[in-house]
Structure 1
């Protein structure tokens, strides 16, 4: 049926009929809605990561060590794995700690990447910290067990005893307060290995050390009957850091993502257990 036939079936004024017929016979292109041009979504921002990265640390067994000219260690292995996943060629350089801190704080210093640093407001002014730590640092007491003496279970048992520390070791507040009040004594030596050997020979009553340092040393020296007291006396996180630059935030964020995956897929535990033993990682 034509448009005119349809209109004719209704009782419309002639003027209305003419108007309706004109609408029905108008070209379709006039009635069609105008086309809308789609606006493309902005392309996602891509990170600009360096092809290579040189990182610095001081010698600190088992985290950073030199063996026949090759740098290795627990933190070194962690960072090598993380950098590999990011497609970054990473290299390592040993630098004394005081010089390292000076270079990082100095404008135009020679160091752009370092580890493992604790977060402080002062350092955050010139260093880029991520959100995921490279390693937690714990200070713990190590004692003998099963030698017939009264077992130690917490710090209060140290009253009147001698605690061995490596020279230059920063004492936790609880230990420093006990030394000041005369509750216990501190015996300093030049190495952690010497400390634990003295403990095994009963020349001191306990050793205060970084938790992983102690576990690694006991394992390397094959000392039996030495245990770490829990909980640790203090705990804080340490990070890989980058000198602030146009790309430092992207670098920190990229390592954060990889560190999270490495914890989830068991890589952190696997690398740590190679140095301190799987049983040492159990809570």
Structure 2
């Protein structure tokens, strides 16, 4: 018995570094996972929105999946777009969705690379009976085309004065004007138009996509506040986004919201 007690302290000393490392790994991993990043988001269907009290949308789901792969917890703050910028600038939010390079956020935030979207396809919808009349862009001239106010369109459509653009506050109104034959067509992005049709399937039976389609390079990023205490964790989203691009997860998420429209 004396022999055992004599060697016990020596055994503990030999095992102590390994035990300490194991403890640090366990508690360190738990601490990293427990540090939740606050995400500021606003209503911009189908990219981000609040439904039944919970955040949802293409960008929200992409971020959730990337965070899951990176072992990051998220909490969401729903507010106006202007307030999102304010929260990010003050460090009250760690992350913000739907950031483009020219947005000016580089003063108070960094873009997480790579972009989770490299561009958006712009398309034109018309009534099914007339969609064949618009095989190419030039056929829109001297016609009324509904667009959503504040949204980017494509060139040369955006600056072509021979096309009468009717601006509305929402796609609901734009498509309503089309269905009531008050405009000839609706110009929007493929994802936004597809989501509207997927969620209005009765109306969708009367609408069809024309042959006009423009693919624009317009990368979209998540941004991390320069005042965030979790910048290292936020930057680990980059490799997760790369893996999602490679395995097709981002396209799968987009497809869920447009349902083939």
Short-chain TM bin: 0.7 to 0.9
Cα distance in 2 between the residues matched to 1:93 and 1:84: 18
Deviations 1:81-121 (A, max 9, x none): 1111222111211221122224434xx35232101100138
Unaligned 5+ residue runs, structure 2?
1-27
Q: Give the root-mean-square deviation of aligned CA atoms.
A: 2.8
SS at match of 1:160: coil
Cα distance in 2 between the residues matched to 1:83 and 1:149: 41
Which among 65, 82, 88 is matched to residue 104 of structure 1? 88
Deviations 1:54-102 (A, max 9, x none): 1112101111121121111111111111111222111211221122224
Residue 179 of structure 2: aligned partner: 200
Unaligned 5+ residue runs, structure 1?
1-45
- Contact 1:137-1:210 at 8 Å conserved across structures: no
Equivalent residue runs for 1:83-98 within 5 Å? 83-98=67-82
Residue 211 of structure 1: aligned partner: 190
**Count of residues in correspondence between the two structures:** 229
Distance 1:246 1:53, change over 3 A: closer
Distance 1:68 1:173, change over 3 A: same
Q: Which runs of 4+ in 1 moved over 6 A?
A: none
- Contact 1:166-1:191 at 8 Å conserved across structures: yes
Cα distance in 2 between the residues matched to 1:61 and 1:68: 14
Deviations 1:172-191 (A, max 9, x none): 45334223xxx011212221
With normalisation by structure 1, the TM-score equals 0.70
Cα distance in 1 between the residues matched to 2:241 and 2:75: 18
Distance 1:98 1:174, change over 3 A: farther
- Contact 1:49-1:247 at 8 Å conserved across structures: no
Cα distance in 1 between the residues matched to 2:188 and 2:131: 22
SS at match of 2:113: coil
Equivalent residue runs for 1:248-267 within 5 Å? 250-267=232-249
Cα distance in 2 between the residues matched to 1:123 and 1:86: 24
Cα distance in 1 between the residues matched to 2:211 and 2:53: 35
Residue 57 of structure 2: aligned partner: 73
Deviations 1:135-170 (A, max 9, x none): 344262322264157521222111101110123334
Indicate the structure with greater helix content. Answer: 2
- Contact 2:175-2:186 at 8 Å conserved across structures: yes
Indicate the structure with greater strand content. Answer: 2
Which among 97, 106, 110 is matched to residue 124 of structure 1? 106
Structure with bigger gyration radius: 1
Cα distance in 1 between the residues matched to 2:247 and 2:131: 42
Distance 1:160 1:233, change over 3 A: farther
